[in-house]
Amino acid sequence: MTHSWRTYLTDYNEGLGLVYERFVLNDFLLQLCQQHGVRSVLEAPLYGMAGVSGINTVVLARTGVAVTLVDDTQERIAGVQRIWQEDLQLPANLVCIDPGGWGELPFADRSFDLTWEWAGLWYLADPASLLRELVRTSRNLVFVAMPNPIQVGYWTRKWLIDREFFTAHDERWTDLGRIRRLLEAAGVQILAEGVLDTPPWPDTVMPANEVLKRLGIRSQTLEAQFTGSGWHWSTMAYYLGQEPDLRERVMRYAWLDQAPLPWQLKALWAHHRYLVGRVAR
């Protein structure tokens, strides 16, 4: 990832884009769980989203959903455990596996109501094996989301500001058609597909000030706008009650996410695409 996950285990200032992404995902997960009576979830891997690792399911834990999170790095999972226990004071089952163990998750068949991953497939050596495990361990729903490769921020990142990332990660796993075929072959009936995370700004997966630097733009005015104490965005501050108005301030940018337009039109700008399916009983 562009910025070290270690930094975000103690510094919760993620940036506006990430906070927005989390709130939109929160709404989607809550609605999905309410519609389908989900009481247990497995997120694997827990580190697909940039910023603070392992907090995508906080909103579900607060409603009483049993949360299990899987990682392949002991240091990171220890940091996530501290966040859940000391800061959030919420229960979560955190499981660390070997980096090559994504094809053999340590759970029985049909253990969870919902299994899911967010933008994590291209960090794995064998994403297909994880997808099959998400199917095996679900008794009902599978939810898969990946970065949208046709939106402008993706191409800006790929060709201008973060080329090295794409030399080390297999972007074929942004192809939702490929993922859909694999899930269907494993016995999943696709219930829905669409887009999420569609704010007014492009998705570059790095702070705005860093984007300006990589584009060679030097402006004290812009740098001051995107740095310092006045530019502090933290989902954790909202979860901990330190900024109770944060969601209201951030979600004013959600007019395109909430617009009643076909998802295919939103896909021209949306940051992520997703599939939701039901495992054959």
Burial class from Cβ neighbours inside 10 Å (0-12, 13-18, 19+) for residue 231 reads: middle
Edge-to-edge, what's the strand order for the sheet holding 272-279? 93-96, 66-71, 40-43, 112-118, 138-147, 272-279, 188-196
Position 216 scores a pLDDT of 62
Position 1 scores a pLDDT of 40
Residue 33 is inside which H or E element, if any? Answer: helix 16-36
**Domains of the chain: which residue ranges?**
5-279
Residue scoring higher pLDDT (107 or 228)? 107
Summarize the confidence of residues 211-237 as an average pLDDT: 65
Percentages helix, strand, coil for the chain (3-state, rounded to 5) are 45, 15, 40
CATH number of 5-279: 3.40.50.150
What percent of the chain is modeled with pLDDT above 70?
Answer: 89
Residue 136 is inside which H or E element, if any? Answer: helix 127-136
pTM, 2 dp: 0.91
Position 184 scores a pLDDT of 98
pLDDT digits (tens, 9 = 90+) for 164-195: 888 888 899 999 999 999 999 999 999 999 99
- Torsional class of 187: left (φ above 0), alpha (ψ -120 to 50), beta (otherwise): left
Whole-number Å distance between alpha carbons of 231 and 15: 8
Position 161 scores a pLDDT of 77
pLDDT digits (tens, 9 = 90+) for 218-228: 555 545 555 55
Whole-number Å distance between alpha carbons of 20 and 49: 12
Q: Is there a contact between 179 and 131 (Cβ–Cβ < 8 Å)?
A: yes
pLDDT digits (tens, 9 = 90+) for 38-76: 999 999 999 999 999 999 999 999 999 999 999 999 999
Summarize the confidence of residues 209-225 as an average pLDDT: 55
